[in-house]
Amino acid sequence: MKVIIKNESGYNQAVEGIGFSYGIDDFERLKGVAYKLCDKDGGHNKFLESIQVWIEITAARYWWQEFDTYRVGTTKQSESTIHTIAKKPLTQEDFEHAALPDSIDHLNRLIKQYNKDGPNKKVWFNQIKANLPEGYLQKRMVCTNYKVLSNMIAQRKNHVLTEWHYFIEEVLNQIEHPELLLKRYGEERPWK
């Protein structure tokens, strides 16, 4: 799994927006208000929705199934299986964990057949998809926000998949304002 924060924006605007409710325009003071509100639900931390984050994630299909729970406030652009699966023979590097060599050999035979058999491409492609292990890695560019990331941390911090722990750590290590997502946990990170 790879997690790379590609861009982040909106912090200043989100913090300034808090001032409308409080009649405050001093930015340093507003940063303190933002920190006080960041762990309070019920609309008090809605400013987190205005801080956008673009993340490039390469993860196994089984992890993406879990991630797809987060649809509100999240958009994704992904490697299309139909356009990428048959570009080259598959190797162990294409999977999160070691795939069975027989499975890779079988998929490569199907890919070879797909690439040479014009009239039956749909049949071969469907066979490839049907036999593709869940550990197959796919890359997506995700656009989300601090509010969604906060929810992910709260909901996935004790998840059985170690990829969630890795994802959370990488996000927190790379974002510009991790304190806004960590306050409810203090400095201790319960998923470690």
pTM, entire model: 0.90
Segment 64-76 mean pLDDT: 87
> Looking at the predicted structure, is the pLDDT value of residue 188 above 70?
no
> Looking at the predicted structure, is the pLDDT value of residue 124 above 70?
yes
> Looking at the predicted structure, is the pLDDT value of residue 42 above 80?
yes
Residues 12 and 70 in one domain: yes
User: Can you read off the two tokens belonging to residue 187?
Assistant: 């400095």
> Is 192 within a domain?
no
> Is 191 within a domain?
no
> Is 190 within a domain?
no
> Is 94 within a domain?
yes
C-alpha–C-alpha distance, residues 183 and 189, integer Å: 10
pLDDT tens figures, 133-146: 999 999 999 999 99
Residues 11 and 60 in one domain: yes
Residues 32 and 124 in one domain: no
Residues 64 and 116 in one domain: no
DSSP reduced 3-state for 112: helix
Residues 73 and 141 in one domain: yes
Residues 58 and 102 in one domain: no
What is the pLDDT, as a whole number, of residue 83?
80
Quickly list H helices, 23-138. 27-37, 61-67, 81-84, 101-116, 121-131
What is the pLDDT, as a whole number, of residue 43?
87
Contact 185, 192 (CB under 8 A): no
Residues 144 and 125 in one domain: no
Total domains, the chain: 2
Residues 90 and 13 in one domain: no
> Looking at the predicted structure, is the pLDDT value of residue 72 above 90?
no
CB neighbours of residue 155 within 10 Å: 12
Residues 92 and 127 in one domain: yes
> Is 37 within a domain?
yes
Q: In which domain, by residue range, is 125 found?
A: 86-131
Residues 23 and 51 in one domain: yes
Half-sphere exposure of 163 (CA within 13 A, CB side): 19
Cα torsion 108, 114, 117, 120: sign? positive
Pairing of the two strands 52-60 and 75-78: unpaired
Segment 164-179 mean pLDDT: 96
Q: How confident is the model at residue 71 (pLDDT cuts 50, 70, 90)?
A: confident
What is the pLDDT, as a whole number, of residue 192?
58
Phi and psi at residue 45, to the nearest 5°:
-105, 25
Residues 20 and 113 in one domain: no
CATH (domain of 27) = 3.30.1360.170
Q: How confident is the model at residue 186 (pLDDT cuts 50, 70, 90)?
A: low
